[in-house]
Amino acid sequence: MNLSGVLFFPVTPFDAGGGLAEEVLAEHISQRMEHGPGAVFAACGTGEFSALSEAEHARAVRVAAEAVGGRVPVFAGAGGPLGVALNQARAAKEAGADGLLLMPPYLAQGPGHGYTAYVSAIASVLPVIIYQRGTVVLEPDTVVELAGVPGVIGLKDGLGDIDRMQRTVLAVRERFPGFLFFNGLPTAELTMPAYRGIGVELYSSAVFAFAPEIAKAYLNGDERLLTEFYAPLVRLRGKVSGYPVSLVKAGVRLRGLDVGGVRPPLVNVTDQHLEELEALIKTGLELAAS
């Protein structure tokens, strides 16, 4: 599967009663499709994957697939207990998704071959990109083994250990040259120079969800944005746990689409931080337009 450009992770809108706002989700995705993302990853981390019921997850993926209409690949989040992950995978396939971003399983941990069996079961339903973060910290040899599992097509790195990733990229590409690697750190643009240095070009852009003009300007080489937009955004993101999601959702609201707030245990952005975010978006948009 060939992916290129900015990878779009939409937020999951909620209505005034706290339920899934399907029409707003469709509008959110349709608006961003006009800016040419390379793929859409629905109901994943930015989409509050861990806060959705299985039924909401399935509906969100269906809405995403219908809004995209086959123009680019659609991936759905999946993970947690094996039975839940399989249900999510099957529902995503029925909804029209092309693949899965596999979140780490929770609480229960086993040896490497146990995780390989977990991945293999889910990859039998749809192609899988493994998400390395949290409890999933993989040695290069393990990733080589996983890359040989039918249906496993890539690894998204949410750790930021460049030494480990360099060794992993070298080991895997020696045997599986088409295997995909992604920078999956929050606000990935800030670390892309380092990832590009080890041969990883793909990345997920949280900023694309609320300011695609900024994300595309950076992709086109405007490195002023690193100093004047992305670095301050990362500092703001670090002020409160959960802001990697809350700030994105607040940014979408600031750009004119009412996607509601976040679900607990995440918290909404404070008024003071919302003002800071609004100022940063203004600066970023001015730079992108200049």
**156 has catalytic annotation:** yes
* 3-class state of residue 61 by DSSP: helix
E strand or H helix that includes residue 279: helix 271-289
Helix (H, G, I), strand (E, B) or coil at 62: helix
Q: Do 21 and 13 contact (CB within 8 A), yes or no?
A: yes
> Quick check: is 230 catalytic?
no
Judge whether 46 is annotated as a binding position: yes
d(CA 183, CA 168): 13
How many Cα atoms sit within 13 Å of 246 on the Cβ side?
Answer: 20
Closest-CA residue to 45 (of 2, 76, 86, 13): 76
d(CA 207, CA 104): 23
Q: Considering 118, 156, 230, 243, which one is annotated as catalytic?
A: 156
Characterize 153-192 residue by residue with b for buried, 16 or more Cβ atoms within 10 angstroms of its Cβ, and e for exposed. bbbbbbebeeebbbbbbebbeeebeebbbbbbbbbbbbbb
Hey, how many other C-beta atoms are within 10 angstroms of the C-beta on 34?
A: 8
Out of 131, 203, 230, 243, the active site residue is 131
Binding-site residue ranges: 46
Catalytic residues, which ones?
Answer: 131, 156
Binding-site residue ranges for pyruvate: 46
